Structure 1
């Protein structure tokens, strides 16, 4: 197979490609931070509303990358590497992936829909892999960038592709259709996701079905309004409409299984699906239809369908034993997803020492020798300190890697390996499902009770980029990670923000900044409320203090003189109306006399805090604060030989007063998915979901009571579920006594009686549920804003109130 830079130049509409030597492309990259960038990399410098990869080309050249597709050549790099100049680098990436796809001639299955895409893809891979060598998009790589990157995982040994296509607005699907070129189309479900990107449901449908332009067949749930728009034949399924191509009749459900009688072409057969929820049954029916179209026998279909399994769609970061952190990717092992997981490991590592636990790798389509040579390169490039392999094959091919320990099975590893040897390291656990690596995760995970706070790192990235999209490219961003990241978690979120190259982190106290430094965070960190006694420690850990008083400034200067340091960065806070902390105008002359020609300190920034930027009713007050700040800055900076950074906008300030962004802004609660208006909230993704389980279910009679002080007395027979979470976990008692609720199986369960220290009770009389079922305490619904309103507080207080005993799980889709 030939894949060289010279091959693709004619197809990417190059404006300039001068004096290029022959170059065989080994790796396509768009991320300058990846450790997999090397001499065999072709780097596409993508530009967006709030990022420009051209800024990082010099760093890539230093790492050995020599070939770039760019929209412009930075002036200082013209003779330092080889550049292909195009009008649009994203379009060039997509055109390159089309060229690469056309090197192979195997059929493609293309999947779209509002949800269920990734699960159907993974299930089809499981169902078809005994008979095909399959390439598929890893995780949920279904975007304008994700799809082309996924295509580059193909090779000449694959004979089937399964790719998902996700869109969020019009004029996107046509690009993905040209890349995937599916012959079999699957429409999983039409829901409300991304409705805001379309003017109507019909426009959304019209856009999605563009994927099926050249399909031989489209598989979907019976839906006349969609079917009449499709350009090809269909196979439809239904549980209610017998006119569907495939009709499923649910017979019974027990022990977590559902028996369904399938009727197709006047023949009937039975399948046993190992799920009971409607979404899983729908996804399974889609898979049955696909197997029928591919002419699988009914016995084979029944045998394989009963072995379907829950799909974990996310890379999860968990707290491990002996001060370790775990990255749980224990359900898949293929080459493409290994590359993603290693990038995530580098991004999220909380310790310098990195350990990889890896099983045999399947579905690569490559000869074993070539596959494991590539894996060896990945491991070496990512500087893995210790490698533990599990499987009959992998250990033989990687035996020459330093610090490798090999086991033939998971059970052998658990029986023989000293688990206490894991200490102060980040461990990536990546294994094919058949190896049962979840047993390793259970053993290595720090034990907590069954209530967890899940933090969506993708949503944090999305919210960050939303606020950055309102800023000029040169405007710096400080992100607040104080109070344990607003209750969500400090280190992990700080690692993500460092990955996104924000300019500053903000913490409240020095000890928060010290913990971040100990976790390996190297970004500048500003301490907003430093105590004079902490100045020595701050200097030792390179933390930058906010100085808001003459007394504090003199105390810091005394420490600086004692330690004989110079030009130490400090940040001066001005009080313009918040009346909390900061210099007032009557102190400016004294302040100027101290900072003028002072070699011990450097005034890195001057700032103030807006008191009412969230409420447009106080616009005049806010504009007056901005005016006062501008005057104060001009006055104070006049005695300095440099211009400090100015910053005044907080989260709601960024949204409501974008024109006053100055040189830097401070992003706080908005990062975590909470805005200060309905309009702002519509633009943000939910970050945190607090989950628990049902511990027990009781049935009480009329007149019986629930909880302390008999605050709830039943007026009829009532089914009551107990949930192991209470006010010691951060659930406010004001949310109890039938004012608040939780979600169980997507249904509201009202909280009965007083919330206890460690438990709360809910009414499940009308909900089908059992002990062990998942309970949503807050998330998309109920949202923290709703809880805050009922509890007469604010979302900040709800977030930071979640106890540290609640386990945090960080995940990336």
Structure 2
């Protein structure tokens, strides 16, 4: 079946689905395969549960009129998404970066939705499956699409751009993330700037943080719209040491966010800039950012008992960990404790980067509890740092009754599930 024909059938459906547990009536089911499952085996069940069509790639499961046999289900999903994107012909904003992608995407969406009907990536569905699903969730009512793109090796962003064909792009930053796949920070820069390369080649627009030398250098040949100290949009941070929430000043407005840490300043600034570019009123921009409440373990501020908690445990890498610690240092609370979990996907640099974090903590003025096999391998002579090899070791040994009237930072890679600490406090 040609992709044009499949797209006509797709338009008959409410949405697409890849998981029968989340299937809704009149969905188009795509029988994807994974290491431990074969979606083809669920194709008939999907139809019985109300799917309008099931897309399969194994002849043995072509048992009903509503099953559609293709060569490769994943490739078909991607081709359909690319076709649908062209069919809609709406502005698409793509963003990637080492840190802050999802928060920035949420802020941009909150800002633009003050004026436009937007569709944005849900959660962090930002890979070779998530991007197509995001595009296929857009409808004729969508006025602007916002697509988050993640990557852990070269050519991924390039591939995602070939599907989403963005008109605008923003890179949050370049940091020490996914070093195992990218090989080095230079590899990270090369991989992330594949977004710039696409936009430059297609004469599209790049949003640039004018205070980031790498962004400036890599976007020299592009149509740019920038913000920063020396640019048209001069957005300043207003940081109060006694409180973690970030405030910014812009066009004689003060915007107080619910986001913690100076590292979120540029995420907010990008949303302000993009909102301004698309002519969202300043008052609406202020409303959008001030009403945005972070969730899902990202930059959340909580209270349990007598303790204030900064929960930033969705993920971590050396760059984001350092930024979080330096921001935590600036809070002038007398009693502070950082609970940090291992950082993953660092490959050969894992030992060095964990030691760097330990060395940094030694220069700061708060206690730290480090959890994980990588942190356990570090050299530490400081009495203010405690290290546990596993979370179970920490859970059985650490006495939370001694932590009172304190401010706590909780951060680590997703695999460490550091939010479990909340159950112990």
* Structure 1 partner of 2:14: 26
Say which is worse superposed, 230-239 or 160-169, in terms of deviation: 230-239
Residues 388 and 394 in structure 2, CA contact (< 8 A), matched pair in contact too: no
Deviation at 1:798, TM superposition (A): 0.9
Is 1:783 the counterpart of 2:381? The answer is no
Q: Distance between the aligned counterparts of 1:91 and 1:60, measured in 2?
A: 20
Q: Distance between the aligned counterparts of 1:250 and 1:451, measured in 2?
A: 23
Q: Distance between the aligned counterparts of 1:804 and 1:255, measured in 2?
A: 27
Aligned counterpart for 1:232 among listed residues 209, 222, 241 = 222
CA displacement, residues 379-414 of structure 1 (integer Å, 9 cap, x when unaligned): xxxxxxxxxxxxxxxxxxxxxxxxxxxxxxxxxxxx
* Structure 1 partner of 2:290: 307
Is 1:795 the counterpart of 2:390? The answer is yes
Deviation at 1:303, TM superposition (A): 4.1
* Residue correspondence of structure 1 range 536-615 to structure 2 within 5 A: none
Q: Determine helix, strand or coil for the equivalent of 2:87.
A: coil
Distance 1:448 1:252, change over 3 A: closer
Q: Distance between the aligned counterparts of 2:376 and 2:157, measured in 1?
A: 35
Say which is worse superposed, 789-798 or 274-283, in terms of deviation: 789-798
Q: Distance between the aligned counterparts of 1:452 and 1:120, measured in 2?
A: 22
Q: Distance between the aligned counterparts of 2:55 and 2:145, measured in 1?
A: 27
Is 1:155 the counterpart of 2:129? The answer is no
Q: Determine helix, strand or coil for the equivalent of 1:170.
A: coil
Q: Determine helix, strand or coil for the equivalent of 2:21.
A: coil
Deviation at 1:145, TM superposition (A): 0.8
Is 1:748 the counterpart of 2:340? The answer is no
Q: Determine helix, strand or coil for the equivalent of 2:158.
A: helix
* Structure 1 partner of 2:31: 45
Q: Determine helix, strand or coil for the equivalent of 1:234.
A: strand
Distance 1:296 1:449, change over 3 A: closer
Deviation at 1:190, TM superposition (A): 1.0
Q: Determine helix, strand or coil for the equivalent of 2:191.
A: helix
Q: Distance between the aligned counterparts of 2:71 and 2:205, measured in 1?
A: 36
Q: Determine helix, strand or coil for the equivalent of 1:157.
A: coil
Residues 40 and 56 in structure 2, CA contact (< 8 A), matched pair in contact too: yes
* Residue correspondence of structure 1 range 483-494 to structure 2 within 5 A: none
Deviation at 1:146, TM superposition (A): 1.0
Q: Determine helix, strand or coil for the equivalent of 1:106.
A: coil
CA displacement, residues 730-773 of structure 1 (integer Å, 9 cap, x when unaligned): xxxxxxxxxxx9x99x96269xxxxxxxxxxxxx6x46xxxxxx
Is 1:217 the counterpart of 2:217? The answer is no
Deviation at 1:155, TM superposition (A): 1.8
Which structure is higher in helix share? 2
Q: Determine helix, strand or coil for the equivalent of 1:801.
A: helix
Aligned counterpart for 1:207 among listed residues 170, 191, 194 = 191
Q: Distance between the aligned counterparts of 2:111 and 2:149, measured in 1?
A: 20
Q: Determine helix, strand or coil for the equivalent of 1:219.
A: strand
Q: Determine helix, strand or coil for the equivalent of 2:140.
A: coil
Residues 227 and 234 in structure 1, CA contact (< 8 A), matched pair in contact too: no
Deviation at 1:804, TM superposition (A): 11
Q: Determine helix, strand or coil for the equivalent of 2:54.
A: strand
Q: Determine helix, strand or coil for the equivalent of 1:79.
A: coil
Residues 29 and 54 in structure 2, CA contact (< 8 A), matched pair in contact too: yes
* Residue correspondence of structure 1 range 298-337 to structure 2 within 5 A: 300=283, 303-304=286-287, 307=290, 309-313=292-296
Aligned counterpart for 1:100 among listed residues 77, 84, 106 = 84
Q: Determine helix, strand or coil for the equivalent of 2:173.
A: coil
Is 1:192 the counterpart of 2:176? The answer is yes
Q: Distance between the aligned counterparts of 1:809 and 1:277, measured in 2?
A: 21
Q: Distance between the aligned counterparts of 2:7 and 2:213, measured in 1?
A: 40
Deviation at 1:107, TM superposition (A): 1.4
Aligned counterpart for 1:72 among listed residues 48, 55, 58 = 58
Residues 337 and 369 in structure 2, CA contact (< 8 A), matched pair in contact too: no
Deviation at 1:58, TM superposition (A): 4.9
Deviation at 1:135, TM superposition (A): 1.1
Deviation at 1:174, TM superposition (A): 2.7
* Structure 1 partner of 2:320: none
Deviation at 1:65, TM superposition (A): 4.2
Name stretches of at least 5 consecutive residues in structure 2 with no aligned partner. Answer: 318-327, 340-354, 402-418
Aligned counterpart for 1:109 among listed residues 84, 89, 93 = 93
Q: Distance between the aligned counterparts of 2:135 and 2:13, measured in 1?
A: 14
Q: Distance between the aligned counterparts of 2:312 and 2:170, measured in 1?
A: 31
Aligned counterpart for 1:179 among listed residues 158, 163, 176 = 163
Residues 139 and 314 in structure 1, CA contact (< 8 A), matched pair in contact too: no
Q: Determine helix, strand or coil for the equivalent of 2:146.
A: strand
Distance 1:24 1:53, change over 3 A: same
Say which is worse superposed, 57-66 or 117-126, in terms of deviation: 57-66
Residues 11 and 96 in structure 1, CA contact (< 8 A), matched pair in contact too: yes
Distance 1:10 1:67, change over 3 A: closer
Q: Distance between the aligned counterparts of 2:242 and 2:309, measured in 1?
A: 26
Residues 370 and 387 in structure 2, CA contact (< 8 A), matched pair in contact too: no
Deviation at 1:196, TM superposition (A): 1.9
Deviation at 1:218, TM superposition (A): 0.9
* Structure 2 partner of 1:707: none
Deviation at 1:251, TM superposition (A): 6.4
Larger relative contact order (C-alpha < 8 A, sep ≥ 6)?
2
Is 1:721 the counterpart of 2:316? The answer is no
Residues 275 and 285 in structure 2, CA contact (< 8 A), matched pair in contact too: no
CA displacement, residues 119-143 of structure 1 (integer Å, 9 cap, x when unaligned): 1121122222221111111111211
CA RMSD of aligned residues (A): 4.9
With the length of structure 1 as denominator, give the TM-score of the two structures: 0.38
Equivalenced residue count is 367
CA displacement, residues 138-192 of structure 1 (integer Å, 9 cap, x when unaligned): 1112111111112222222221222211111122223321333222211111111
* Residue correspondence of structure 1 range 459-478 to structure 2 within 5 A: none
* Structure 2 partner of 1:281: 265
